[in-house]
Amino acid sequence: MFRWKKLGKVFDPKDLKTASWMHEFAQSPSVLIEDSFVRVFFCSRPAPAPDGQYLSYISFIDVDRDNLLNIRRVCENPVLDLGKYGTFDEFGTYPASVIRDGAEVRAYYAGWTRCESVPFNAAIGVAISHDGGETFNRLGDGPVLSYSPDEPFLLGSPRIRKFEGHWQLWYVAGKEWRMTDGKPEPVYKIRMATSDNGIDWVRHGRDLIADKLGEHECQACPDVSYRNGRYHMFFSYRDIRNYKSSEGGYRIGYASSTDMTNWQRNDDLLNIGLSETGWDSEMVNYPHIFELDNSTYMLYQGNGMGRAGFGLALLQSSEEWGQA
């Protein structure tokens, strides 16, 4: 059993006391660890347009390394502009995952475009920072992972890792769009690609995680760590209906593997569920695991798929993780 202790909400732009370009949402947290602080990247949104449509941008906060609930700086501007007219990321960059590569920082993100028959489509792009994550520039106007004959629908939820000198990208691929309660809804599953340089990817071409809720289950944000001789994946899953409420909303799942290819799902090993009240009482989702000063933490977003911000939990013990 992974025994997590919730430490509280870290950030919600609606709680800011000063003016900010961020109106609401703090989604998909991902960290860079510095000497005296931890930089938490996430995705946020300005106020919606008159037609109700949102744009999404990558942002960050800096928190004290010795007190992760203490915010010392809030990003003044988005770190990456949206794409040009007609590009894959013209209308949004979300979710995002960051990784350090020598003197550079790379951000892997899903770029969003709007569609006519379905609400949106997405592909995965890369941007690079040479100033520690203050600003990013995309590699080009196109994505590094896009639609293919085997993956014809949206690609998103990238989580980037490097193990044994090789790049691994876990992501989700759309399986189909289903008319559900009069609206088209996507079904997407977790997949994996590998690379020698983090740009040219070889897809493994298979769904990795068994369904719990049936073939209509949607899976997202697969974050993988290596510990105690095994790979550990923490991910999100939800129903295709009522997913904006506690009834069908996102929960956190768990799977493990010895080879990153064959995974055994066992959500019962987790004990991080809904709170009785408050910002994470309807859903917990989009987990990001990181280690800091001999402790293991999870950042995760709460109600409304991050509309209520993101929070922090501390791993107290786990035989699976090799931590007592």
Q: For residues 304-313, give the mean pLDDT.
A: 97
Q: What is the pLDDT of residues 203-239, one digit of tens each?
A: 999 999 999 999 999 999 999 999 999 999 999 999 9
Closest CA to 308 of 267, 269, 250, 256: 250
Flag whether 278 is in a domain: yes
Confidence of residue 317 (pLDDT cuts 50, 70, 90): confident
In the chain, at which residue ranges do the beta strands (DSSP E only) sit? Answer: 3-11, 24-33, 37-45, 57-64, 67-74, 92-101, 104-114, 120-129, 137-138, 155-163, 166-180, 183-195, 202-203, 218-227, 230-238, 251-257, 264-265, 285-292, 295-301, 310-317
pLDDT at residue 305 is higher than 70: yes
Flag whether 230 is in a domain: yes
Confidence of residue 319 (pLDDT cuts 50, 70, 90): confident
Flag whether 73 is in a domain: no
The tokens describing 159, both together, are 């989580």
Q: For residues 288-292, give the mean pLDDT.
A: 97
pTM of the model: 0.97
Q: Sign of the C-alpha dihedral, residues 152, 257, 283, 88?
A: negative
Q: What is the pLDDT of residues 261-270, one digit of tens each?
A: 999 999 999 9
Flag whether 125 is in a domain: yes
Rg (CA), the chain: 18
**67, 8 contact by CB (below 8 A):** no
* Strand 218-227, strand 230-238: pairing: antiparallel
Q: Whole-angstrom Cα distance, residue 320 to residue 301?
A: 24
The CATH number given to whatever domain includes residue 102 is 2.115.10.20
Q: How many domains does the structure of the chain reveal?
A: 1
Q: Whole-angstrom Cα distance, residue 240 to residue 67?
A: 38
The domain in which residue 268 lies consists of 3-18+79-317
pLDDT at 323: 64
Q: Whole-angstrom Cα distance, residue 322 to residue 319?
A: 5
> Residues 6 or more apart from 84 whose CB is under 8 A from it?
90, 141
Q: What is the pLDDT of residues 59-112, one digit of tens each?
A: 999 999 999 999 999 999 999 999 999 999 999 999 999 999 999 999 999 999
Tell whether omega for the bond before 95 is within 30 degrees of 0, i.e. cis.
yes
Flag whether 173 is in a domain: yes
pLDDT at 324: 47
Flag whether 68 is in a domain: no
SS3 (DSSP) at 14: helix
Closest CA to 301 of 159, 98, 95, 19: 95
